[in-house]
Amino acid sequence: MTGLSTTPSLDRARLGFYRGLLRQMMLIRRFEEKAGEAYALGKIGGFCHLYIGQEAVAVGSIAALRDDDYIMCSYREHGHALARGVASRAVMAELLGKSTGCSAGKGGSMHLFDVSRGFLGGHAIVGAHIPLATGAAFAIKYRGTDQVSICYYGEAAVNNGAFHEALNMAALWKLPAIYLCENNRYGMGTALERASAIYDIAERACSYDMHAETVDGMDVLAVHEATERAVQRARSEKLPTLLEVRTYRFMGHSMSDPIHGHYRTREEVEEQKRLDPIPGLFHRLETDGLMSQHELSALDAEVVAEVEDAISFAEESPEPMEDQLYQDVYQ
């Protein structure tokens, strides 16, 4: 197995940066809790996949990107949108299907878009967006700019042909792409070991002669640094990277699923929760004397207020007009 990349010690001068990461993770956590609540109340419909437990992955990696880079996500993308700076109001309004949502209420939880931020969508066919990210990387190379295209997908997607086809072309054509696998061990109720002939996803990169790294996804700083290395490789060397980020989802696959059941035990979930990335970062900050419990509470109050504002905004927002039904089928 490739060694797991973890973090070096904290740098006092970067306190503002650490605080920013912590705030984003806390915002996503509170946002997702609220989304879960709204789902239970029937305010959010369809499938709704929460990101609780995996916050460090989106937050750490997106912090390593530039504003003009492209981001392509799966359907578990609320956290990525928030980390990219899409307003929590616009994301929540989209979950509620309102006209003020970031996809005008026509995308829903699985299809969040904000082109102004290079946020190119949540996509709901497992693996299908991986070639799309390769296409964005192709366009970057075609135009000769130094942007980067990053793609987030789950470990279950690597058994899909689209993954293989996309990575092969990215390596063949030397495209500035980062394929970030969020290995949360399960695709719905199927453990990685029951679906994949090899358990070490980073190893798959050798099929394409691609750089790979395995990262502790519960450590936001480790994720950030590994992504920075991949970004550097893409921007300067014009080469793709496969990042395997080891993480865990604390909730069920979607809001319709129980947290544990036939496929994983309560004990396993509880054990993983001890690795929660939010207290993880806070305790390091506290230990180094960079942040107090009091400051943490203040930060929490701040994100709770932001989420409350988001849900009120979403609830008060108008439904899309009926004439929207036939809008945007064709340009």
Partner 1 sequence: MPTLTYRDALNHALREEMERDPNVFLMGEEVGVYQGAYKVSRGLLETFGERRVVDTPITELGFAGVGVGAAMVGLRPVVEFMTFNFALLAMDQIVNSAAKMLYMSGGQVPIPIVFRGPGGAALQLGAQHSQAFESWFAHVPGLKVVAPATPADAKGLLKSAIRDDNPVVFLEGEMLYNTKGEVPEGEHIVPLGKADIKRAGSDVTIVCHSKTLSVVEKAAAELAEQHQISAEILDLRTIRPLDRDALVESVAKTNRCVVVEEGWPFCGVGAQVVDEIQREAFDHLDAPILRVTGADVPMPYNKHLERAAKPTVNLVIEAVRSVTYQS
111 sits near ligand TPP (criterion: CB under 6 A): no
Please give the residues from 43 up to 102 whose contact with ligand TPP meets the rule CB under 6 A.
Answer: 76
187 sits near ligand TPP (criterion: CB under 6 A): yes
Q: Considering the complex, what minimum distance in angstroms separates the CB of residue 244 from ligand TPP?
A: 12
Q: Are 16 and 293 in contact (CB under 8 A)?
A: no
Give me the 44-83 binding string for partner 1, x by CB under 8 A, dash otherwise. Answer: --------------------------x-x-----------
154 sits near Mg ion (criterion: CB under 5 A): yes
- Residue 20 CA to residue 303 CA, distance in Å, equals 12
126 sits near ligand TPP (criterion: CB under 6 A): yes
SS3 string, the chain, reads CCCEECCCCCCHHHHHHHHHHHHHHHHHHHHHHHHHHHHHCCCCCCCCCCCCCCHHHHHHHHCCCCCCCEEEECCCCHHHHHHCCCCHHHHHHHHCCCCCCCCCCCCCCCCCCEHHHCEEEECCCCCCHHHHHHHHHHHHHHHCCCCCEEEEEEHHHHHCHHHHHHHHHHHHCCCCEEEEEEECCEECCEEHHHCCCCCCHHHHHHHHCCEEEEEECCCHHHHHHHHHHHHHHHHHHCCCEEEEEECCCCCCCCCCCCCCCCCCCHHHHHHHHCCCHHHHHHHHHHHCCCCCHHHHHHHHHHHHHHHHHHHHHHHHCCCCCHHHHHCCCCC
Q: Which of 11, 45, 116, 125 binds ligand TPP (CB under 6 A)?
A: 125
Please give the residues from 123 up to 142 whose contact with partner 1 meets the rule CB under 8 A.
Answer: 123, 125, 128-140, 142
Backbone angles phi, psi at 183, to 5 degrees: -85, 95
53 sits near Mg ion (criterion: CB under 5 A): no
- Residue 330 binding: pick among Mg ion, ligand TPP, partner 1, none (C-beta 5-8 Å cut-off by kind): partner 1
The piece of 101-109, 269-277, 293-301, 306-314 that touches partner 1 (CB under 8 A) is 101-109
Residue of 13, 10, 16, 33 whose CA lies nearest to 306: 33
Q: Which of 18, 113, 208, 250 binds partner 1 (CB under 8 A)?
A: 113
Residue of 124, 255, 121, 260 whose CA lies nearest to 186: 260
Q: Which of 149, 184, 214, 227 binds ligand TPP (CB under 6 A)?
A: 184
Give me the 159-188 binding string for partner 1, x by CB under 8 A, dash otherwise. Answer: --xx--xx-xx--x----------------
Which residue number places its CB atom closest to Mg ion? 154
Q: Measured from the CB atom, is 130 or 311 closer to Mg ion? A: 130
Q: Measured from the CB atom, is 184 or 317 closer to Mg ion? A: 184
- Residue 157 binding: pick among partner 1, Mg ion, ligand TPP, none (C-beta 5-8 Å cut-off by kind): ligand TPP
156 sits near ligand TPP (criterion: CB under 6 A): yes
29 sits near partner 1 (criterion: CB under 8 A): no
Size of the site for partner 1 (CB under 8 A): 44
Please give the residues from 160 up to 219 whose contact with Mg ion meets the rule CB under 5 A.
Answer: 184, 187
Binding site for ligand TPP (CB under 6 A): 76, 124-126, 153-157, 182, 184, 186-188, 253
